[in-house]
Amino acid sequence: MIPGKIAVIEGDITQLTVDAIVNAANTSLLGGGGVDGAIHRAAGPGLLAECRGLNGCKTGDAKITQGYNLPADWVIHTVGPVWRDGNHGEDALLASCYYRSLELAKDYQIRTIAFPAISTGAYGFPPERAARIAVGTVKQVLEGNTTIEQVFFVCFSKLSYNHYRQAVQEILMNKE
């Protein structure tokens, strides 16, 4: 049953002991602000060196590296869309970030994975909408054939935590 496979927590994703954490990266994969900068700082210089060899990443796609100094073995880097107005494919691109990240997790036999709130910071994606897309996409993937045992949505703020808890309640707990 899926509800037990998805958890929402408030905290620092760089401190989580899971198989993989997801980085809300920019297209260069060379670090930036927010969670991206925090992950690069916590992982150390090996992460940047490996990312240099990946030739960037397109919006909606994902690439994987080792975790280096992080408690996670892997970092899955995904590039979320910059919010324009909701009429430029932003929803589909954000869903693709979660889908592609989970595909890589399956390919690498990752059982536990943690996501930040992708695109909701500097990229300006409306946080309630982003949370519903994230939870809905993860639910859809977990309903299929997957080795993933636990997905964490790691929220840096209480407000973000509340958005994800609400999305989980709406999407996972309602009878269909």
Percentage of the residues of the chain whose pLDDT score is greater than 90: 93
Whether 3 has a pLDDT exceeding 90, the answer reads no
Q: Could you tell me which residues come within 8 angstroms of residue 176 by beta carbon, excluding any fewer than 6 positions away? A: none
Residue 134, SS3 per DSSP:
helix
Residues 98-134 have pLDDT tens digits of: 999 999 999 999 999 999 999 999 999 999 999 999 9
Instruction: Check residue 59 and report its DSSP letter.
Output: B
Of 36, 61, 85, 107, which one is the catalytic site residue?
36
The verdict on whether 91 is a catalytic residue reads no
Residues 58-69 have pLDDT tens digits of: 999 999 999 999
Q: Could you tell me which residues come within 8 angstroms of residue 86 by beta carbon, excluding any fewer than 6 positions away? A: 126, 129
Q: List the domains of the chain with CATH numbers.
A: 2-172 (3.40.220.10)
Can you read off the two tokens belonging to residue 10?
Answer: 């408030």
Whether 166 has a pLDDT exceeding 60, the answer reads yes
Closest CA to 14 of 63, 68, 53, 57: 68
